[in-house]
Structure 1
């Protein structure tokens, strides 16, 4: 079949082991690689005559990074225990951030301010996940929801250690 298709297209083809050596006429500038030859054969032989098969896998899928696996495990365990995941803002106001910097920071650490904050309410990067979680609990309590169990997996920042991933 291949030899007939190549011949009708004006290609010179010769079987070579498990493949083919094909010489393409110079006027066929649209044929520049193996995929172009495959397309021509499929077009002329008929796409409907090509059996559908799954490609053979040559490599095993990459394993996720350990940090991603740990994060997924933490989320799974906490949600199975009845907790809800919260996602709070990374930017918070300075007065809300200061008490949490002192409790958890390295010596001489400072809050990380934004160069051009949109407002004072979003002026610094959070040093802890707790301000956002406390806001979430307060929000739910104001709506008379008594059983509030929240957790968050996210980044915290201070001037001495930079960004750290945390769970709270």
Structure 2
């Protein structure tokens, strides 16, 4: 059984491989010779596509921030979630709670949870009505996306920082948001 399969062929004997001390890659290319762009004989690459390919792409999980809105009424939660929905289009709104559940005496407080994808950020948005009562927002995710969501919320509301928990690559931030005083 011949397991060598032509690796000792005369036409290959002149090209030393990396394991034999050669300064070439496994395809026989010397350092600096492009491998993905071809020989250069074809048309030039589209600069926009080259720039897009060279941008580091954040995995979806690293670009998402989990937001919990609590300790407020429905109007306060909708104001905070509305700001996030305007700043980050494509955010899935939370499922509405039944109106009868909130009206019951002794009902447990509601928590609204959404996931924000910061890769879909729109520039400045128009001001919207702000809640009159305080709202607690807890942000959890990769550090840089959490900072971006926090900046959006603190731009729209007066924010009081309640605490931060840092992990190796993630960050949790708790904020108390209130309406800004008119200027």
Per the normalisation by structure 1, the TM-score is: 0.25
Which one has the largest radius of gyration?
Answer: 1
In terms of fraction of residues, the more helix-rich structure is: 1
TM-score by length of 2: 0.23
